[in-house]
Amino acid sequence: MSTATTQKRGFGAVLWDYLTTVDHKKVGILYLIGGGFFFLLGGLEALIIRIQLITPENDFISAGLYNEMITMHGTTMIFLAATPLLFGLMNYVMPLQIGARDVAFPFLNSLGFWLFFSGGILLNLSWFTGAPDAGWTNYAPLSLQSPGHGVDFYVMGLQLSGAGTLMSGINFLVTIVTMRAPGMTYMRMPLFTWTTFVTSILTLFAFPALTVGLFLMMFDRMFGTAFFDVALGGNSVIWQHLFWIFGHPEVYILILPAFGIFSEIIPTFAKKRLFGYTAMVFATFMIAFLGFMVWAHHMFTVGLGPVANSIFAIATMAIAVPTGIKIFNWLLTLWGGSITINSAMLWTLAFIPSFTIGGMTGVMLGSAVADYQYHDTYFVVAHFHYVIVGGVVFAILAAMHYWWPKMFGRILHEGLGKLAFWTFFIGFHLTFFIQHFLGLMGMPRRYWVFLENQGLDTGNLISTIGAFFMTFGIIVFLINIVYTAMKGEKAPADPWDARTLEWSIASPPAHYNFKQMPLVRGLDPLWIEKSEGNGKITPAEPLDEIHMPNSSILPLIMTIGFFIASYGFIYQVDHKAWLIAVYGGMAIAIGSMLIRSLKDDHGHHITKEELEREAD
């Protein structure tokens, strides 16, 4: 099944192929499509927020709808856009970088995607009946008082997508530990693989806290328990703790893969080995470790007391050290390099100062005393958009340009790429830089309107204009995708003269990735072979038959079961007849688990003859 025959099949066959696929590359592409779709939704919500705030006391949308808009923007961007886009890239690229033919649990991989996607769909279906409106942090008791089913959709939607993300994390960990190609020792792994590994550790230990928090919220809202209900002895701060024990590592789940992406792009386009590789790996672990120690810096104003606040403040500022190590290592990789500036590199170079600004405001916010002034103002909004847009979104767009040829066999158009970059980059700073000052002047976040003549008018206008620039940039990027799909330049296996294993195989790769397992002889294995004049990787084994997993529709059916059950849980509060949906959905889900367990699935083999028939 070469790519040529794949393209000739009908739409139905392709659709069925994607619905049942367990191929990490196709699952990765599904993640990118799903995450991209939610990214556009979240962007639209952001634009509506900015239009509402373009003038003082605007009434473009109602106060209630505004609350729904900010809640859904935050929730969508974090859980349904940034995380899955990065998980899509990890899914596609990481196995190729370590010389593996798939992930350790291909079935689970597909299930993880469908759970994430159905969670996102469930959450967004709430728009038809009233979306969640208690902020993306969903603090109790506000979330308990929120009428209607909005918050219930939040709880069930995130529970589904969170379970999917956790599965992927476990999967990546096992894959990296057990499936590295011969010679691919830990300290020869590309930085993107390293950050995937560390991110997966964070996912593993952070997401269960969210799971518990969401369960408690679900029980309180749907079954009348008293976890956060002060009247019955409950404690609403528990939600804040559980949410941020998850929530703070989550921002490192987002930024570490971004760091990994830049650590791939910079050496490739500077034509230099990554400066301080060992320190980079160490810094990644430091950030991950400290990332678990700082959750209460989101809660400085709750009243935890001076001792707790001091400890968390110091731990927070300590993160600046490993992050600084990374920034300097990137700069020193660029130093004296033979630098090519293209779209991927532009996003990368723009990331360094933009993210550093976000990092510095982070240290400012980390000072517990000063935080009493900054807390819940636009200063915080400016800070986290500088790190998440300036870090994560820039990384995703850089990665798109960098790995697009590998994924789709065509190179994204450079001119359009640069246009998208410059408009988005200018728009980004227009939108968010001014928000630091709006916040310092006292503009609170999450407020529907602001008053005239309080020094906030011009700043908000500029910010909204910036948002339109960013929108334009994203539209250009979308046009670029369509243009490239139709007329884009065909990509060779190694269009960037790059260094890592994924560039040693065809673009896009065959579904078994590597015909023969590659032999890795050091860091940047492809570069080593090229500099020694071999040009391609030495195989580590003779050509032999390849064992591959079978496709399965069960992950999708299982997910549909959970989806129906979630809907039932939300509405059984109104009418007990909805319990039928709960039981029916669970029966479908558990039934498909049973089928999976009872029916043997040994996978299939690609014979030696088939492999020999396919040209390199």
Q: Which residues bind other proteins (CB under 8 A)?
A: 104-105, 166, 169-171, 173-174, 177-178, 204-209, 211-213, 215-216, 219-220, 223-227, 229, 231-235, 238, 241-242, 245, 594, 597-598, 600, 602
3-class DSSP state of 492: coil
Least Cβ distance, residue 242 to other proteins (angstroms): 6
Least Cβ distance, residue 497 to other proteins (angstroms): 34
Least Cβ distance, residue 265 to other proteins (angstroms): 30
Which 8-state DSSP code applies to residue 185? Answer: -
Tokens of 407: 């994924």
Residue whose CB is less far from other proteins, 214 or 334: 214
Q: Checking phi first, is residue 605 left (phi over 0); if not, alpha (psi -120 to 50) or beta? A: beta
Residue whose CB is less far from other proteins, 42 or 162: 162
Residue whose CB is less far from other proteins, 208 or 442: 208
Least Cβ distance, residue 209 to other proteins (angstroms): 5
Residue whose CB is less far from other proteins, 120 or 169: 169
Phi and psi torsions of 244, nearest 5°: -85, -25
Measured distance CA(459)–CA(436) in Å, rounded: 10
Measured distance CA(611)–CA(616) in Å, rounded: 9
- b/e burial code for range 163-184 (CB count within 10 A of at least 16 → b): bbbbbbbbbbbebbeebbbebb
Least Cβ distance, residue 194 to other proteins (angstroms): 17
Least Cβ distance, residue 171 to other proteins (angstroms): 8
Residue whose CB is less far from other proteins, 38 or 514: 514
- Contact between 494 and 81 under an 8 Å Cβ cutoff? The reply is no
Residue whose CB is less far from other proteins, 61 or 590: 590
CA end-to-end distance (rounded Å), the chain: 14
Chain centroid, CA 146 distance in Å? 28
Measured distance CA(191)–CA(278) in Å, rounded: 10
A 10 A CB-CB count for 125 gives 15
Residue whose CB is less far from other proteins, 224 or 415: 224
Measured distance CA(202)–CA(169) in Å, rounded: 8
Residue whose CB is less far from other proteins, 135 or 208: 208
Least Cβ distance, residue 96 to other proteins (angstroms): 19
3-class DSSP state of 377: strand
Which 8-state DSSP code applies to residue 138? Answer: T
Least Cβ distance, residue 377 to other proteins (angstroms): 30
Provide the greatest CA pair distance for the chain.
78
Residue whose CB is less far from other proteins, 243 or 355: 243
Angle at 205 between CA 199 and CA 206, to 5 degrees: 80
Least Cβ distance, residue 368 to other proteins (angstroms): 22
- Contact between 495 and 414 under an 8 Å Cβ cutoff? The reply is no
Least Cβ distance, residue 95 to other proteins (angstroms): 13
Q: Which residue type sits at 277? A: Y
- What are the residues facing 606 on neighbouring strands? 546
Residue whose CB is less far from other proteins, 217 or 317: 217
Measured distance CA(229)–CA(543) in Å, rounded: 65
Which 8-state DSSP code applies to residue 231? Answer: G
